[in-house]
Structure 1
Amino acid sequence: MSSVIQTDEQPGTRPERRPAGRSVLMCRPEHFSVVYRINPWMDPAQPTDTSLALEQWQVLHDTYVGLGYDVRLIDPIAGLPDMVYAANGGFVIDGVAYGAKFTHAERQPEGPAYMDWFREAGFDVQVPEEVNEGEGDFLLVGDGILAGTGFRSHSLSHEELARISGREVVTLRLVNPSFYHLDTAVAVLDGTPGQEHIAYLPSAFDEASVGVLQERFPDAIIVNETDAAVLGLNSFSDGCNVVIAARATDFERQLREHGYNPIGVDLSELLLGGGGVKCCTLELRR
């Protein structure tokens, strides 16, 4: 284990929050619906509104554009209603795209579709041998990668990613099925090496994983169950601006207290499929 990351989050001495440029991949929810159940959020008996999902997604897209992000789009494919959750399509770092290999049969065709896009965009695509769901379970923090397991990504994929990336990969075990991907339980607020800062929900993890998070990120923001239940942690930050679920009001308060600029958006329709801001956002790192 690497040395403990010590950050000072006291007012007046905390790092100055400065936005960094972001390049992201998104997918319009043109075929969004809930027709199967592969997580606790999904209920095929509950009606969904594709047009509303598109409207809400467009607000997120336009928010990113307004922040100056480079926003790329992958074409949605009929029959793949969860393709809107682009974060699960792979993990991209240093120009290398580690592809996704989905757990559930309903989503497995998404893996090759995203890898095709990565190739066409000029990334070095690494076809996975192990089951993983991309940036849903892999989060870059500083020079290392936090990696989730327990429901979707197999821990062997953590070893595979460590070999491919040459970076330390730290395994965290998820235990609450409502938080089945790491990006539903951890938000990377500042990934700058030396001033790493995150937010997380302790009850989403086993005891050993909570210990790892406490040791590495002693100044982390602890989010309450209410905000986590609207996927408030499923957010996207550029180090200053943090796009979050609009209903995560206490998280918004905490972010402001720590010098961030929270921006709330309503993705309530996409929440019916178990996804939020981060789920719709795959970061492209050259």
Structure 2
Amino acid sequence: MTSDTGLDIHVYVAPMRPVPNPDAEAAGVKPMWSPCSSTLVTSETEALLVDALITYDQADALAEWIKGFGKNLVGVLFTHGHSDHTFGLTRLREHFPGLRGLATRGVLERTQFEKANMGPYWQGVFGDQVPGDPVLPELFEGDSISLDGHQLSVLDVGQGDIEDSTILHVPQLDAVVAGDICYNQVHMMTAFTDDEKREAWIANLDRIAAMNPKTVVSGHKRVDAPDTPDTIEQSKQYLRDWGRVAAEQETAEGIFTEMMKLHGDRDNPYTLLLCAQLTVQNRG
């Protein structure tokens, strides 16, 4: 996206990649990690990155892409604390020494939790492509970030596919970088929500819609999918459908089958399978 405001927004998407899960393969679902985005907001001489991906090879490719813009990278803002958006900071600092990771309090606490508790899980998924001792971001307590004097709004909004999520609003471009509050043609991670949390999630999608953005960047998006605001309503409909289907179906297979009838055109049914399985398991 280009503009005459002095600001531009650019989106990098790491494509889906295989992950190990023999049980999913046996069930006829190809285990993949969803495509994941990082967004670069550029001004006349500076740039801010939003989210940092996870694996070494993803971060290496992202770094080369960033270097192509020829801007001074002032920091990386994390939209939420899931490691597939944060671990890449470790590798990016090798490309950009001293690079600052920035996280609101809730996001920082989640990154600290994942570093302390989730290392074996991520190594089981990505092996030696993830850091054993990931770099943590620093606490960001402001409500805006300046790029060459242009103010970008940092909004701590709460519930997305995880609690304590942050969005970046670039009003000069009518753009919102929404992290995992919004999804774009990819199955949504609903496993860690209940009815109340999904209602809060939908309310945050309404909050983004009320900004009347022309551009909405989702944290997980299909490669080359346009960053259009209709993804807001599409995400809301998915959450409504999930709540209804999960309540009606007793088995993970039933949830998976019915959701695929409604949203089978989205990337990565493996995410849907995991969500269905976890939801049934959590019923106790």
Which has a greater percent of helix? 2
Which of the two has higher C-alpha Rg? Answer: 2
Which has a greater percent of strand? 2
TM-score category (smaller protein): 0.3 to 0.5
TM-score (norm 1): 0.33
Q: Which has the higher contact order (CA 8 A, sep 6+)?
A: 1
